């Protein structure tokens, strides 16, 4: 009995179908022309699935139309329910301005999820002046700028034209002028809203009036192609105040001597010096000995001269008394000798 009750409850659970997670709510999503956008819709219960569902769009004719029946979405719509049964979201690629409006996801039980899709397109950034002048040089490249106000927006159609012989000729995307073939490209590889035109290998014939057109808006440029300027130097003469113009010559590369050359020269110069060291040492020792011997001889000669210059003299002290007859006279006892140095 309990098993039968569980079976009945299980059947009732799945018979209720798919309840949308965003039921009775209107969400707003923004996309950009040329890009993609996902309109979300899914079952609230991960175990439930929708047997049938549909996406509808409120058209400009003020009526709901089936997205899968409208030819304008052909090749641009993708569903995710094959890989995930409860995911009923819709992917729209290659967005256009006409895709903007109200969308609704509806299951078989008429449960609805509404979405307002807003699409931002490319409006050109206008020049502050009517025509901008751009200068390029022969043989080089130049970029003519052109941007959308929304850099993520890719215009449905972009056209670059050149005014030639009283008429405008297209140079991008169709290169109708022979002089521009294989020389022009757009710079929008990473930023869809960058519509700037790159022209390479400029020549005099590329000068003229160019226009960037998106829908009914356009920006214009005048391209002047000039010869590449040459660099000159002005040298002042000290003899006369005249200016001379000379063409720059490339600087000479400095000459570097290998390091091993200096090593070889040092070795060669050190060999004679090492050979002279013993001779210098011998001369130095010999000079010191000669000097010492000369000094000793001078000292001995000085002492001999001192001895030769001394002269001795005798000084006799004589005492006198009242009775000279009582005193024996002995002159030797009262004699002193003093040396006197005589200068010669």
pLDDT digits (tens, 9 = 90+) for 77-102: 999 887 788 889 999 999 999 999 99
- Average pLDDT score over residue span 148-175: 91
Q: pLDDT category, 44, cuts 50, 70, 90?
A: confident
Whether residue 8 has pLDDT greater than 60? no
d(CA 143, CA 85): 50
Q: Find, among 159, 278, 176, 167, the residue nearest to 218 by Cα.
A: 159
Q: How many CA atoms lie within 13 A of 241 on its CB side?
A: 0
pLDDT in tens, 162-183: 998 889 999 999 888 888 888 9
Whether the CB-CB separation of 155 and 33 falls below 8 Å is answered with: yes
Q: Check residue 320 and give its pLDDT.
A: 43
Pairing of strands 53-58, 64-66: antiparallel
d(CA 88, CA 260): 80
Instruction: List Cα–Cα distances, 40 to 28, 51, 55, 84, 103, in angstroms.
Output: 11, 18, 11, 13, 11
Structural domains of the chain in order of their starting residue, each with its CATH number: 2-120 (2.60.40.10), 131-226 (2.60.40.10)
d(CA 317, CA 315): 7
d(CA 122, CA 157): 10
The residues that bridge with 64 in the sheet, in sequence order, are 58
Q: What is the residue-wise DSSP string for 152-198?
A: T---S--EEEEEETTEEEEEESS--SGGGTTTEEES-SS-TTB--EE
d(CA 61, CA 82): 32
Q: Find, among 182, 189, 180, the residue nearest to 210 by Cα.
A: 180
Whether residue 55 has pLDDT greater than 90? yes
**Mean pLDDT score across all residues of the chain:** 76
Instruction: List Cα–Cα distances, 310 to 5, 140, 228, 302, 339, in angstroms.
Output: 160, 113, 110, 13, 6
Instruction: Tell me the range of 2-6, 148-152, 188-192, 251-255 where mean pLDDT is highest.
Output: 148-152
Dihedral over alpha carbons 293, 299, 300, 305 (to 10 degrees): 140
Whether residue 289 has pLDDT greater than 50? yes
Q: pLDDT category, 23, cuts 50, 70, 90?
A: low
Name every residue whose Cβ is closer than 8 Å to that of residue 149 and which is 6 or more positions away in sequence. 122, 123, 124, 125, 193
């Amino acid at each position: 009995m309990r098993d039968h009750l569980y079976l009945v409850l299980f059947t009732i659970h799945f018979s209720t179908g798919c309840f949308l997670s965003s039921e009775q709510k209107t969400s707003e999503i923004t996309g950009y022309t040329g890009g993609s956008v996902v309109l979300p819709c899914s079952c609230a219960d991960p175990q439930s699935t929708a047997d049938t569902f549909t996406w509808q769009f409120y058209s400009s004719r003020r009526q709901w139309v089936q997205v899968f029946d409208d030819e304008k979405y052909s090749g641009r719509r993708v569903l995710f329910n094959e890989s995930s049964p409860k995911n009923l979201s819709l992917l729209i690629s290659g967005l256009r301005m006409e895709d903007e409006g109200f969308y609704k996801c509806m299951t078989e039980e008429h449960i609805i999820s509404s979405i307002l899709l807003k699409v931002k397109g490319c409006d050109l950034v206008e020049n502050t002046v009517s025509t901008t002048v751009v200068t390029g040089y022969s043989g080089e490249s130049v970029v003519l700028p052109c941007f959308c106000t929304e850099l993520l927006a890719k215009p449905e159609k972009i056209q670059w034209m050149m005014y030639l012989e009283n008429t405008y000729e297209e140079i991008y995307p169709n290169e109708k002028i022979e002089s521009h073939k294989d020389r022009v490209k757009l710079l929008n590889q990473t930023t869809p809203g960058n519509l700037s035109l790159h022209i390479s290998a400029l020549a005099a014939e590329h000068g003229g009036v160019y226009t960037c057109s998106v829908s009914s808006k356009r920006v214009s440029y005048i391209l002047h192609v000039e010869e590449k300027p040459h660099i000159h130097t002005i040298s002042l003469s000290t003899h006369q105040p005249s200016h001379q113009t000379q063409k720059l010559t490339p600087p000479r590369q400095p000459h570097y001597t290998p390091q091993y050359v200096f090593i070889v020269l040092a070795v060669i110069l050190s060999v004679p010096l090492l050979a002279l060291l013993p001779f210098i040492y011998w001369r130095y020792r010999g000079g010191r000995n000669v000097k010492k011997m000369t000094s000793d001889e001078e000292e001995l000669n000085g002492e001999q001269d001192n001895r030769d210059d001394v002269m001795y003299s005798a000084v006799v002290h004589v005492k006198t008394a009242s009775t000279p007859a009582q005193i024996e006279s002995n002159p030797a006892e009262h004699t002193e000798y003093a040396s006197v140095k005589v200068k010669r």
